[in-house]
Amino acid sequence: MGNLIEVKNLKIVYRANGRDFIGLDGFSGSFESGKISAIFGPSGSGKTSLLMSVGTLLPPTEGSIVYDGRDVYSLPEAEVQKLRRKIGITFQEPTFINVLSVWENIELALYGAGKLKAEFKRRAEELAYKLGIGDILHKRPTEISGGEARRAAVVRALAHDPDVLLLDEPTAYLDGESTRTLIKLLEEEKERGKTIIVTTHDPVFDKIADAKFYLQHGKQIT
């Protein structure tokens, strides 16, 4: 997979309580492999809507998401499932299964991706230690801090070594050192040819992103 993602005239309209709410109003852009792309914009500007749609989780009202020439929302479900295994995603609020330990949550994700193998478990453990949460893996998600939960969500998203990383505000709640460690990790993954897309308010991505997109009130601004 060459990992080129093209977004064409993406429009997302939510319907709630009999009213339409514009999530995104005509976004177009390409996300390339070996690059960190950052989507900036104030709260409510449509960043998460765009990321979820790129992540195959939110069908657009109009427009398309094209992975290597294939329109994701026209693919048969079995093909979408295959594609999802190549995507690692973190949500704005990390969600875990609270009766399992953090490590078991990571294993579950590996299982879902068809990668519950020693090689990937080792990778997950290495990632956890790199991100400074190696010693909390046995804990329950309710017993860890917000910053630790964010880092655990990153480990879970990256453990199966996906080609595409979609991270929703990955540095929110992280202190300076954790942010630097995460950025270093993302830069390593970028060098390995991953397609990395982050939504963010964090000026650190202004410095390190290879491609930048700006949203306001659902519209793309330049």
Q: Which residues bind ligand ATP (CB under 6 A)?
A: 14, 16, 21, 23, 41, 43-49, 92
Q: Which is nearer to ligand ATP, 14 or 129 (CB)?
A: 14
User: With 0-12 CB in 10 A as exposed, 13-18 as middle and 19+ as buried, what is 85?
Assistant: middle
b/e burial code for range 145-164 (CB count within 10 A of at least 16 → b): eebbbbbbbbbbbbbbbbbb
Q: Assign 76 to helix, strand or coil.
A: coil
Minimum distance of ligand ATP from residue 55's CB (angstroms): 12
Minimum distance of ligand ATP from residue 109's CB (angstroms): 23
Alpha-carbon distance of 49 to 45, in angstroms, equals 9
Q: Which is nearer to ligand ATP, 5 or 10 (CB)?
A: 10
Q: Which is nearer to ligand ATP, 139 or 219 (CB)?
A: 219
Q: Which is nearer to ligand ATP, 29 or 44 (CB)?
A: 44
DSSP character string of 95-128: ---TTS-HHHHHHHHHHHTT--SHHHHHHHHHHH
Minimum distance of ligand ATP from residue 174's CB (angstroms): 16
Round to the nearest angstrom and report the end-to-end CA distance of the chain.
30
Minimum distance of ligand ATP from residue 168's CB (angstroms): 7
